[in-house]
């Protein structure tokens, strides 16, 4: 234990000893209540320091995650800008090539293309194709120049006319930027090595293999999703004080609504960094039972001659300990010093939470239109609003002494923020190349205490939601 901790504990005990009457016990031995009260304060101090360390660590992790998301987003935007510039340059080149009067546009650089016809033939590009004769229909064959240079090692160069030779036309490649097909000839002359030099616009430098209909690819862009969510939630409660208050029953914490906006930035074909914002409303309905002893020192007569009793009643709830100073009429009850008074409280509490989350997500294909994903992460939550309605009823045995209807929006019993660990499983159903429907199931486990004081409440929940995602 550090010197600072020793000093803080000494200050706590000194503050309690100041209020001690020397007649309460021996001159050098403080009464038991001093130790009891001091230990409550020590527990609260240790809890505050532990929560502070957790908050600092979680805040650093969240900051690292958000910085990573920002860097990846900036990198992705730069890549998109570079691609846009490349496409604009290619469009300009294509526009210039269309304005030329020549029937042939010589390709700026050569490409070696290998096809098989009987024997493997190497196409070294020594033939010119008339651009104006390039077919505009994928089902039609392209006409080429009449003169074709045919070379055979050890033989002289020959020329022949295509009209007199049997020729089959096969599709070679397609362009990313135009529906027109480029065609070459397949010639039944296995004893010859045939060389072609073709002339095509520079626009066709970007080629891809012929494929079927467009299909969605994993992690081919930033994914944004808007997901309405509902939760089934509960509270883990530890170190409830004082022990004389028995929490006999409390209901599940349930959210009335939830909405989250999240994004995923790809790191590779399957792994993404996620981040987002969520808004949720958590509602708790509880039935609380506790009891306290009647103390004649708190009984007095009011101006009307009625026998009144004043008490500071503490109510332990999943969302903190609430103190209520109450006065009630005991004239019609025969209450003795030490009699037991039962307190039955119906509680309705709600909090509104804003959460920021970041994490990692791994995706994989299930079918052409369905992909699945799993992820883990960290969230930082801020309690934006608190509201509580209590109906407190006091009983002497089976007879009700009095009841109180208490409404408060004082959230001082709660910490303003807390951290959680998150896990998610989900499916994406593609309805188009860049959009579809998401189904997400999530689990969140509270890392830091939701309440102030010595008692501890950790907030956990299981959620399910569905919404729309977009890829940009």
pLDDT for 6: 61
């010197």: which residue's tokens?
A: 3
Q: Has residue 225 got a pLDDT over 50?
A: yes
Q: Quick one: which of 258, 225, 218, 202 has its CA closest to 372?
A: 218
pLDDT for 220: 64
Threshold 0.75, pTM exceeds: no
pLDDT for 117: 44
Mean pLDDT, rounded, for 440-455:
81
Mean pLDDT, rounded, for 55-68:
72
pLDDT for 373: 94
Confidence label for 377 from pLDDT (cuts 50, 70 and 90): very high
pLDDT for 245: 39
96-114 b/e (C-beta count within 10 Å ≥ 16 → b): eeeeeeeeebebeeeeebe
Cα(251)–Cα(285) distance, integer angstroms:
6
Q: Has residue 294 got a pLDDT over 80?
A: yes
Percent over 90 (pLDDT), the chain = 7
Q: Has residue 352 got a pLDDT over 60?
A: yes
- Please state, rounded to an integer, the average pLDDT across all residues of the chain: 69
Q: Coil, strand, or helix at residue 31?
A: coil
Q: Residue 312 class from Cβ within 10 Å (0-12 exposed, 13-18 middle, 19+ buried)? A: exposed
Q: Has residue 230 got a pLDDT over 80?
A: no
Confidence label for 316 from pLDDT (cuts 50, 70 and 90): confident
Would you tell me the crossing angle of helices 3-18 and 32-98 to the nearest 10 degrees? 130
More confident residue, 434 or 125: 434
Percent over 70 (pLDDT), the chain = 55
Cα(220)–Cα(315) distance, integer angstroms:
54
* Most confident stretch, 26-40, 76-90, 374-388: 374-388
Mean pLDDT, rounded, for 267-275:
88
Lowest mean pLDDT among 139-143, 256-260, 440-444: 139-143
pLDDT for 361: 93
| Structure-block tokens of residue 85 | 């510039």
Confidence label for 80 from pLDDT (cuts 50, 70 and 90): confident
Q: Has residue 433 got a pLDDT over 60?
A: yes
Q: Has residue 363 got a pLDDT over 50?
A: yes
| Structure-block tokens of residue 425 | 């499983």
Q: CA neighbours within 13 Å on the CB side: how many for 316?
A: 23
Mean pLDDT, rounded, for 384-390:
89
* pLDDT tens sequence across 170-211: 444 444 444 434 444 444 444 444 444 443 333 333 333 333
The CA-based angle 262-421-379, given to 5 degrees, is 40
pLDDT for 374: 94
């Amino acid at each position: 234990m550090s010197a600072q901790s020793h000093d803080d504990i000494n200050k706590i005990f000194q503050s309690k000893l100041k209020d001690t009457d020397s007649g309460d016990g021996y001159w050098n031995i403080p009464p038991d209540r001093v130790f009891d009260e001091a230990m409550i304060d020590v527990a609260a101090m240790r809890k505050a320091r532990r929560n502070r360390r957790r908050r600092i660590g979680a805040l650093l992790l969240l900051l690292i995650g958000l910085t990573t998301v920002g860097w990846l987003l900036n990198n992705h935007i730069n890549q998109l800008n570079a691609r846009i510039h490349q496409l604009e340059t290619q469009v300009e080149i294509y526009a210039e090539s269309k304005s030329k009067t020549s029937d042939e546009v010589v390709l700026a650089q050569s490409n070696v293309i290998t096809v098989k016809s009987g024997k493997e033939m190497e196409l070294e590009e020594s033939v010119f194709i008339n651009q104006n004769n390039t077919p505009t229909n994928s089902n039609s064959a392209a006409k080429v120049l009449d003169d074709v240079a045919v070379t055979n090692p050890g033989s002289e160069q020959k020329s022949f006319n295509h009209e007199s030779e049997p020729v089959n036309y096969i599709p070679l490649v397609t362009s990313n930027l135009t529906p027109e097909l480029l065609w070459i000839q397949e010639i039944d002359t296995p004893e010859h090595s045939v060389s072609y030099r073709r002339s095509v616009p520079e626009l066709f430098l970007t080629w891809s293999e012929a494929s079927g209909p467009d299909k969605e690819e994993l992690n081919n862009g930033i994914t944004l999703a808007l997901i309405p969510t509902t939760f089934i939630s509960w509270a883990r409660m530890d170190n409830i004080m004082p022990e004389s208050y028995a929490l006999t029953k409390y209901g599940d914490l349930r959210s009335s609504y939830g909405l989250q906006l999240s994004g995923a930035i790809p790191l590779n074909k399957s792994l993404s960094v996620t981040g987002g914002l969520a808004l949720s409303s958590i509602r708790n309905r509880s039935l609380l039972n506790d009891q306290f002893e009647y103390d004649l020192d708190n009984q007095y007569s009011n101006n009307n001659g009625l026998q009144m009793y004043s008490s500071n009643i503490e109510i332990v709830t999943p969302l903190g300990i609430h103190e209520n100073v109450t006065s009630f009429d005991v004239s019609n009850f025969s209450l003795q010093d030490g009699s037991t008074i039962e307190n039955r409280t119906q509680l309705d509490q709600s909090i509104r939470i804003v959460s920021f989350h970041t994490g990692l997500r791994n995706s994989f294909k299930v079918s052409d239109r369905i992909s699945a994903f799993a992820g883990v992460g960290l969230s930082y939550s801020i309690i934006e609003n608190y509201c509580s309605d209590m109906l407190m009823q006091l009983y002497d045995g089976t007879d009700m002494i009095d009841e109180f209807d208490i409404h408060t929006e004082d959230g001082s019993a709660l910490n303003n923020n807390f951290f959680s660990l998150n896990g998610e499983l989900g499916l994406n159903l593609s309805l188009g190349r860049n959009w579809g429907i998401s189904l997400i199931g999530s689990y969140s486990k509270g890392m830091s205490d939701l309440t102030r004081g010595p008692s501890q409440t950790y907030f956990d929940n299981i959620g399910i939601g569905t919404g729309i995602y977009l890829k940009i």
